[in-house]
Every structure is written in C-alpha cells, then in structure tokens.
Amino acid sequence: MLSASSYLIALIATISMTAATGFSTVASESANAYHPSTIGTPGKPWGVEEVNLWRKTRVKQRCYFEDIVPQIEALRQESSLSLDVIQYGTLDNNHSETESESESESESSGDQNKSFPLFAIMTKDWSDSKPNVFITGGVHGYETSGVEGALLFLRSKARQYSEHFNILVIPCVSPWGYERIQRWNAKGVDPNRSFNPEGEIVEGRSFNPEAATEESAALIRFMEYEIGKKGDDEADADADDGKKELDWLCHVDLHETTDTDETEFRPAKNSRDGKDYESDKGEIPDGFYLVQDETSPMPGWFTAMIESVRKVTHIAPADADGKLIGEEVSQEGVVKIPNKKSLGLCAGVTNAPYRTTTEVYPDSKTGTCTPEQCNQAQVACIEGALDYIIGQQTDRERTNERTNNSN
C-alpha cells in the first residue's frame, strides 16, 4: 500500500494555481442542447461516437481537487483521529480520442492533472482481534451526501467505533462523476453495476450488471491484493496470483436517490441502450430507504438503521402498489433485491453478512432534508448499523458467560 502524505501535500500546494485557470460551474450552451435523450438515433444503442458526444457535453461543475482532497488531507494531519490515508490507485482524467483533442482540451481547461488519485482511509489501530467494517461513498459521483457523509463519519465517529472495529472508508469511488454531477463514469458505464461484469443479465430486471470500469477494478484490486495484508496469516491467500482477502463483517455503501434519476439518468440509460425514452418510468421515493440483499435479510439490523435515521430525516413510505423503486418492500423503508454480488453492485464486493446500500432523498417535497441533514442521515445509518452489531456481540458474550458459569 502506498503512503499518500507526500502526494497530498504537493497536490494541496497546487490547488490555488489550478483554480486560477477558472473551472466553469455553468453549463455551456452546447451542453444544454445535449440532454442525453437527444443523443444518437432513437431505438439504436450508442456506439463510440455517441458516448464521446455524451462525455464531451457533460460540464464540469465542481472540483474533486478543491472539494474532497483537502478534506482527506485534513483527516491525515489530525493526529487525534488516528487515521491512515492510502492512495490505492489513479483514475484517468484524459478521455480525448486524439492527441489534438487532448491538447486542445488541456489548454482550454487549464487542468494540469491528467488523473484522479483514489484514496482510502483506515483506522490506525488495526487488530486481528476486531471485525472489519467497510464504508464506501461516491460510487455514483453525483450523490453528494455519499461522499460528504463518509467524510463526516471519519471526522466525527470513526475514532470511537475503532475501539470495536477495524474500519476502512473509501469516500469517493468516482471522482469524474463527482465533478460533473453524473451517475456514470466517463465511458458511459454505471460504476454501481460494474463490480461483477460476468454476472447474469435478466431481461426486464431493473438491476443488471454492466461492463467493468476503472473505478470498480481499482477498488477490487485494492481489496484483493493490498488491504488483505492487514489480516493475519489465516487470511485467504492464493499463492498463484498473490490475492489475500479479508473477511468482512459489515459493508455500508452510501447513496442518494434524486429527482434527476428520472429527469436525466433514466432517459440517458434508455437512450444509451436503444430503448424508448419513456420506458421503465418510475416513481422517486419521498424519503430515506435502504436496499436489502435477499440472501442476507438481517431484519433486526435494518430496523436499527431505519430507527437511527428517523431521528434525522423521514423514512420513505411505500407507493400505492406497496413497493419502492418498483421493488418489494420487506419492512418499513427497506426494499429487497436479488444477491448484490450477482447484480454487480458495490455492496456485494465483500463477503460481509451485514451489507446494505443507503438511499437518502435530498429533493423531498414533503419533509426537510437539507444537505447537512443528508450527510447526517448517512452517519446516523452507519451508527445504527454498528451499534446494533456491538449489541449483538455483547449479547453473545453474556450468553457465553452464563453458559460457562452454569457448567
């Protein structure tokens, strides 16, 4: 694993110079003209030309190097938090098709950073005696509270929970999507369907795996070959390829559901895949909900998370058909879907029995959910998840103690 400190310090020092070039936060006229549904030929899947046009018309609206990297550096520098920062990979930020286009885009943007550094943050007091917890954010880069909620948890709560768990957090899996407020990566692929590209595609199913991405490949490589070195000698190791994977107890993947899922991203997917613009039109749940893997239901755990989030924001009610996002509701605020690994979801990337995807709703019309509340709701969900697990462990210890005493 690479130390990120020297990279971060150098990067922070260049931010003011980079900012002086002026990143546009307003969509250009050409970008406004290219709603994804207008790209390509209706009924015909996109090819390379259409994907390139889509990418070139996605306008940069915020800056990963100014918004997120300084927060990560602050976590590294704050000794009281006892956190390590690791750069686990880089993500290409130069997707031009020709050298001349590359030079032109570089000159017009003034952006000298040709790649995004990818960061993981982990508690320092890692121990084989403690279970492992994984938290991910920004798999969909446009879902802001996934990124900011992960960082808020690291600042405010990770230290106290590190007494019970080894904690690994990747706060921004998809920096390109973060900067352009996009669901997909720069190649027009959904990162949160790309963690199992060999998974089965079922016609008509709302969740289906997509092609592998740089984002998912970097995270999987880190999990399989690097973070496993933190484990003991009994970690799953393959002598042929150097894999050394850890066992995980819990994985919480932080997401949002936004109105743009229906106004932009669903039409974009239909256009990309050659489907009718209006097909698969859905209803956005008004409130927070969780996504449950049907192969690991854990109802008590889900109840604990919902009750914790309820203190911050409202829980999404089921629709008129008793569903959320077209899926069966297993309990209040919880939808049940097939095995997440088979669908290529990030929440299925580990073997954690406690696994879920959060969905915060920042565009609510019936309740208040400010950006700050969205971030706090993500943290509250993690707290509810971990407090429940601690309680279960305590109950088991008491039961074992009573059994031993009775013997």
Confidence (pTM): 0.86
Higher pLDDT, residue 254 or 199: 254
**Separation in Å, CA 213 to CA 71, 139, 195, 196, 312:** 26, 11, 8, 10, 34
User: Which pair of tokens denotes residue 233?
Assistant: 């000698």
Q: Which of 312, 311, 315 is nearest to 334 (CA)?
A: 315
Least confident of 122-136, 231-245, 333-347: 231-245
Higher pLDDT, residue 9 or 62: 62
Identify the domain containing residue 151 by its residue range: 2-406
Q: Which of 358, 354, 357, 120 is nearest to 220 (CA)?
A: 120
Q: What is the pLDDT of residues 174-232, one digit of tens each?
A: 999 999 999 999 999 999 999 988 777 778 777 888 989 999 999 999 999 888 777 55
What is the C-alpha separation between 45 and 61, in angstroms, rounded? Answer: 27
**Torsional sign, CA 200, 202, 208, 214:** positive
pLDDT at residue number 107: 41
pLDDT mean over 332-359: 95
pLDDT at residue number 377: 98
Q: Which of 146, 371, 139 is nearest to 254 (CA)?
A: 146
pLDDT at residue 387 is higher than 60: yes
pLDDT at residue number 88: 97
CATH number at residue 216: 3.40.630.10
Higher pLDDT, residue 174 or 17: 174
pLDDT at residue 145 is higher than 70: yes
What is the C-alpha separation between 349 and 133, in angstroms, rounded? Answer: 13
Total of domains in the chain: 1
Q: What is the pLDDT of residues 26-60, one digit of tens each?
A: 333 334 457 898 999 999 999 999 999 999 999 99
